Structure 1
């Protein structure tokens, strides 16, 4: 590839019309001079990564490793590169790029960054699920406090107004779930995949509900139990480090699953919804809140960057499939709501929090991990904005005798 400008090669990857300035280590440049953002390719290792993984994964590896820098806002850069970041580049172009970069790959090839992770074991076995959850959620509670803010809520918020703060929006989300579940004092709530216990504590503090949360993350459970004690909610709220499948209690008035379904896997969904159905009393309600595909995908593969760096073994399904499986498990579906735009706003807030604490975050988790999070949140925000992914809440009920639902004629 001697004599071929590096910026010209990269221009072929992202598209000649992309509004991004390319500046390469060999002095070559491409793209409009007045572009709002620029990519700086600082090492030939970045090209070697593109040779082995043309498209978004190769670019992500180079960014995580610090071989590509972004001048300007990362979300703006990804928006300009949407054809690469949201959709795979055509196979023919991938093959041409790989052939063109073969010489540089032979000289500068390196293994993927150490942060790339594929958990061992049988897919969605209990042991593998524990490893996958620990990889993402047991990073550092301090790091999550910086990114998520005081609510420590790592799920889509619900913004009551356009100028609402993240904390107001997370409180509104918890209250929305509580309203859909019709929580009242004395009721019993099971929150599966409860994270740091936000919904558990909201149900106890605001509605007098006896709430049990379970999570596979030891860090989350320890933080949540300490916070429950600090707030004086120990008589009503509890978070256990436990697989949801090992909950022995039943007869709950309500079950909330906020951000767990993405980790379950398609083959396990019937058992998952069947298990939650069995935990409810007659007329008990389930609120399932999860990220979904906007339509039935042509391939089952999650984005390779997300699956290898962020959510190992994560699987997203279209809304219709989830509703069908809920129905087949016995639930009557009463309400559905798409909060796609709210998740884009949530991610924008998390991204701003990370930037505010950037130096401390790098010191806490390392530059590579911090870059993973910066890229993941910016890319996910773009995905929700462009309808590449969605966020749905589905409300179901376990009917009582002769089809009784316990629902009013109107409302939730």
Structure 2
């Protein structure tokens, strides 16, 4: 490239094409009147204004795309914002960027304007307060965990009812068949966990990170178990306790607003943790599993249900997920989880990967969001609803592609002589 080429001004679409290895798999139109990509494409991305361009330039990748899309500066024709699965497939499967030379990059930046390298204010839905920037090494204090959980869950219980369905369950379901409904699959998930824990009438269960109390209510209603559930979301706790009373289960079950680390009771027969591990931080695994080991009786069981990676490396969950969905979330492989469980004194007895079931679960949630879109917008901002559609559709694709997984790890606390009250054949397989 010559100096003359560097001085040649590109329009926005030409600049984008310079960054593509294999061209664009969709139609692209920009506010400067330029366009690129197949004219007969089923999907069209439309860049509306200068702010959207600045979002894309100052945070290349998923964060800039999310900022422009959530703010309404980047529109996608051909999809419903509650289920942008098709555009996620194109972006994650067919969009290939190349690394431009220094001269090419200079030409692109000059063409698009150096002023667009100043980051605009992020959308209101983004969560990254200044104290997070200053104290990145101090994650997972009780205060910080509470704020992160409340950012995601204390939105609107009605919004969650519309998206999650009657079960109010925000974790992977287990589909008995491909034709099972979301509600049938959530029932099957809770029942599978109860059977893995071998729950019996009169036993005591602690459910940590209990959400809206789905496991708490299922174990009490169908297995006659005395259950304590704990959640860091005040909205979840209030909804769950009200549901317990409506179902006439308050003699068996309760849900508390608080940190599981503040539970003082012990001698439980079992502990379930469904979707909490992602929030606690990998370096806190030893204390987490030690807590569960210490609060159950010898012979007691632990079921840990969490999203995992297909390897045991620990890496950030991605800027979009961190700032818009799960602040401070961390994922690693099931190997790290089983090691931490073993080192606490628990004996791991069964490990199961249910990742395809989570893809189906997310598909169901997206369908609910689309079906109830107008009602959802009565509860949350359009930007927040877009975040949910983007997050769930992208996560569905990631589970389908085995970029993330969902594991059950079942463990028991042996007594001093190795006894574990374990049957020769697992009861949930009979």
TM-score, normalisation: structure 1: 0.94
Give the aligned partner of residue 76 of structure 1.
86
CA distance in 2, matches of 1:79, 1:186: 48
Given that 2:209 and 2:276 are in contact with CA atoms closer than 8 Å, whether structure 1 keeps it comes out as yes
Name the larger-Rg structure: 2
1:71 Cα offset (Å): 1.5
Give the aligned partner of residue 151 of structure 2.
135
Which of residues 40, 44, 62 is equivalent to 1:56?
Answer: 62
Q: How does 1:157-176 map to 2 (within 5 A)?
A: 157-176=173-192
Give the aligned partner of residue 28 of structure 1.
34
Which of residues 109, 113, 116 is equivalent to 1:104?
Answer: 113
Q: Match of 2:331, SS?
A: coil
Which of residues 386, 393, 397 is equivalent to 2:401?
Answer: 386
Q: Does 1:144 align with 2:160?
A: yes
Give the aligned partner of residue 361 of structure 2.
346
Moved more, 98-107 or 391-400: 98-107
Give the aligned partner of residue 194 of structure 2.
178
Give the aligned partner of residue 67 of structure 1.
73
Change (3 A) 1:296 1:95: farther
Structure 1: give runs of 5+ residues left out of the alignment.
Answer: none
CA distance in 2, matches of 1:377, 1:105: 34
Given that 1:39 and 1:71 are in contact with CA atoms closer than 8 Å, whether structure 2 keeps it comes out as yes
Structure 2: give runs of 5+ residues left out of the alignment.
Answer: 1-6
Q: Match of 1:47, SS?
A: helix
1:209 Cα offset (Å): 0.5
1:8-67 deviations in whole A, cap 9, x for unaligned? 333445654442121222222222223222211111222211211111111111111111
Q: How does 1:311-390 map to 2 (within 5 A)?
A: 311-390=326-405
TM-score, normalisation: structure 2: 0.90
Q: Does 1:271 align with 2:287?
A: yes
Structure of higher RCO (CA pairs closer than 8 Å, 6+ residues apart): 2
Change (3 A) 1:328 1:113: same
1:256-311 deviations in whole A, cap 9, x for unaligned? 000000000011110000001101000100000000111133x6222100001110
Change (3 A) 1:21 1:224: same
Given that 2:354 and 2:405 are in contact with CA atoms closer than 8 Å, whether structure 1 keeps it comes out as yes
Which of residues 255, 259, 262 is equivalent to 2:275?
Answer: 259
Give the aligned partner of residue 127 of structure 2.
117
Give the aligned partner of residue 3 of structure 2.
none
CA distance in 1, matches of 2:281, 2:366: 28
CA distance in 1, matches of 2:239, 2:333: 33
Q: Match of 1:112, SS?
A: coil
Which of residues 220, 225, 228 is equivalent to 1:209?
Answer: 225
1:367 Cα offset (Å): 1.3
Give the aligned partner of residue 229 of structure 1.
245
1:71-115 deviations in whole A, cap 9, x for unaligned? 123111111111599x9x666689965872365350585122122
Residue-pair matches, total: 409
Change (3 A) 1:20 1:238: same
1:377 Cα offset (Å): 0.7
